[in-house]
Amino acid sequence: MEVWQGPHDDAWDEAQDTLLRAGLTDGLPVIPPTATRVDAMLAGVDPLEAVAVLPPAYASVTWRDVAINAVMAGCSAEHLLIVGAAVEAIAAPAFNLLGIATTTGSATVCVIVNGPVVQQAGMNCGSNAFGPGNRANATIGRAVQLTLQNVGGARAGEIDMATLGQPAKYTFCFAENEAESPWPPLHVERGFDAAASVVTVVGISGTIEVVDSESRTPAELAQTFAQSMLIAGNVGGSGLLGGGEPLIVMPPELAQVFSAAGCGKAQAKAEIFERARLPIDSLSPPLRDRAKASGNAPDGYLRVAQNADDIMIVVAGGVGRKGAYVPTWSGTTTAVSRTIRG
């Protein structure tokens, strides 16, 4: 490592202090949203056009608002429309942003991107798709979070009352690995044209790594994924293990195991759903009573969703047999998709 050889910028340090004191950052350094940078971000977009009304403050969000936060997050101009579509999606009533943004739980926004825009924006859908190293993934997710904080009013410790929170509250954005998936991609499954660019937002409560290097059949892999989803601490008021739309992110190698055996995505969901059952007798007495009262455990088992089709499967990642279970928030939330402007 060597020190930066460029000129020292005192104005940069001053801007960081000013923006931090104003409560406009997430605690990490941001790009100062100068008029020049914001105008460049807004090229071809009406800055005063409304994008959404964003809970919990129920504030009107314009493209200028989105652009300011996108600049601060470090986005480039080609990322703006993705951020805007994600902001529009999280504002949909079905997503229940009010609950997600104000709960004492660890709920936050996961942004999944499909379609031609993935390559155009330089997004990562392969190795380390959840991790660092890709500007688009990191900054798009961060821009959504900053917009939620700075326009929607969900500031930590004020309106955002998460007991612990989670690292994904900084940023969580990735793209589906459509090229290596044996199945139709998420946006097609949700009714969009294959050539469309689409963002889907999911209200999630964390991530759990699922590792299985030994299983060779769909039934065996389904058992591994199902057992990874049985988390007693994620029992929601609905009497389900989570929010009812659990997300599985499956690397291509594991998806190919299902596909090679003639197992489509719907069948893979069914195989997992039938095995993802938690005996209510394994719960603490108060949770057991809640499960019984919900009416969702008539056979003595809690499920991860109401039915198999509620499980979401997205293929992403690179080489390896490591997937992820991403439980949805145990409050009421539904995944929402929006088309990204072309």
59-87 tens-digit pLDDT: 999 999 999 999 999 999 999 999 999 99
Q: Is residue 1 in a domain?
A: no
Q: In which band, very low, low, confident or very high, does the pLDDT at 254 lie, cut at 50, 70 and 90?
A: very high
Q: Give the structural domain span for 190.
A: 12-206
- Residues 127 and 272 placed together within one structural domain of the fold: no
Mean pLDDT for all residues in the chain: 96
Q: Is residue 341 in a domain?
A: no
Q: Which of 166, 184, 206 is the last residue before a domain boundary? A: 206
- Residues 242 and 133 placed together within one structural domain of the fold: no
Domain total for the chain? 2
pLDDT above 80: residue 34? yes
CA distance 214 to 193: 36
DSSP letter at 340 equals: P
pLDDT for the residue 288:
87
Alpha helices in the chain (DSSP H): 10-21, 35-41, 63-73, 80-90, 97-102, 117-120, 135-150, 186-189, 218-228, 252-260, 265-275, 285-294
pLDDT above 80: residue 238? no
Q: Is residue 340 in a domain?
A: no
pLDDT for the residue 297:
86
- Residues 174 and 164 placed together within one structural domain of the fold: yes
- Residues 132 and 238 placed together within one structural domain of the fold: no
pLDDT for the residue 233:
85
Please report where in the chains the tokens 């009406």 appear, as a residue.
Answer: 46
Q: At 245, list the tokens.
A: 């739309």
CA distance 1 to 250: 36
Helix or strand holding residue 312 (H, E):
strand 312-315
- Residues 93 and 128 placed together within one structural domain of the fold: yes
Q: Is residue 59 in a domain?
A: yes
Q: Is residue 28 in a domain?
A: yes
- Residues 182 and 307 placed together within one structural domain of the fold: no
Q: Is residue 153 in a domain?
A: yes
- Residues 136 and 225 placed together within one structural domain of the fold: no
- Residues 122 and 226 placed together within one structural domain of the fold: no
